[in-house]
Structure 1
Amino acid sequence: MKLLTIIIRPEKLSSVTAALHEIGINGMTISDVRGQGTQKGVRTIYRGVEYQTDFIMKNKIETAVSDDRYEQAIEAVMDAARTGEVGDGKIFVTDVVDAVRIRTGERGDSVL
């Protein structure tokens, strides 16, 4: 199993989750996060005053997928989230040693 940690622009959340649903990945956790990458913040104008925002709002999606499906999930996310501009996001892939469904005690891929 793999854990995909996906950081994307907030305006791409619905298209990314739809792309994951389309390939059969339904279980996910979504969080509103703020961060800084190569963009290092943005300058914005609010009521005529320019100011620097150091941390940019993003969405984080975490989902566990089987080893044979994670490449398909990565492609789906990239296709749905890409704008071609700096700040499109990142996908981090982590090995998952085990997963346990608390209600039944099931373990492994059957939990997904």
Structure 2
Amino acid sequence: MKMIIAAIKPFKLEEVREALTDIGIAGLMVTEIKGFGAQAGHTEIYRGAEYEVNFVPKMKLEIVVAADQADQVVETITKTARTGKIGDGKIFVLDVAQAVRVRTGETNLDAL
């Protein structure tokens, strides 16, 4: 099993969720996050005062899938979340040792 962690722009969340549903992904976890990378941050003017925004809002998606689905999920997120501008996000793929469905006790792929 693989865990895919993706940080994407907030306005792309619904489009990415729909694309993942279309390829058969049954569930994912979403968290609102803030961070910076190459985008670093920017300055904004609010009520005439200029201030620096050091952390940029993003959405973090966490998806656990069978290992043979991981490449398709990464490709779908990449294609759907891409705007071509700085700050489109990052995707990380990790190995998952075990999964358990709390309600039934099912394990690993059956728990997904």
> How many angstroms does 1:95 deviate by?
0.2
Query: Which secondary structure does the structure 2 equivalent of 1:77 belong to?
Result: helix
Alignment-mate amino acid for residue 65 of structure 1: V
Whole-angstrom CA distance in 1 between matches of 2:27 and 2:57? 23
Unaligned runs of 5+ residues in structure 1 are: none
Unaligned runs of 5+ residues in structure 2 are: none
> How many angstroms does 1:45 deviate by?
2.1
Matches for 1:27-106 after TM superposition, within 5 Å: 27-106=27-106
Whole-angstrom CA distance in 1 between matches of 2:81 and 2:49? 31
Whole-angstrom CA distance in 2 between matches of 1:13 and 1:96? 24
Query: Which secondary structure does the structure 2 equivalent of 1:68 belong to?
Result: helix
Q: TM-score, normalised by structure 2?
A: 0.95
Superposed CA offset, 1:57-83 (max 9, x none): 100010101111010001110111001
State the superposition RMSD in angstroms: 0.9
> How many angstroms does 1:11 deviate by?
0.7
> How many angstroms does 1:26 deviate by?
2.2
Deviates more, 1:44-53 or 1:14-23: 44-53
| Corresponding position of 2:9 | 9
Equivalenced residue count is: 112
Query: Which secondary structure does the structure 2 equivalent of 1:75 belong to?
Result: helix
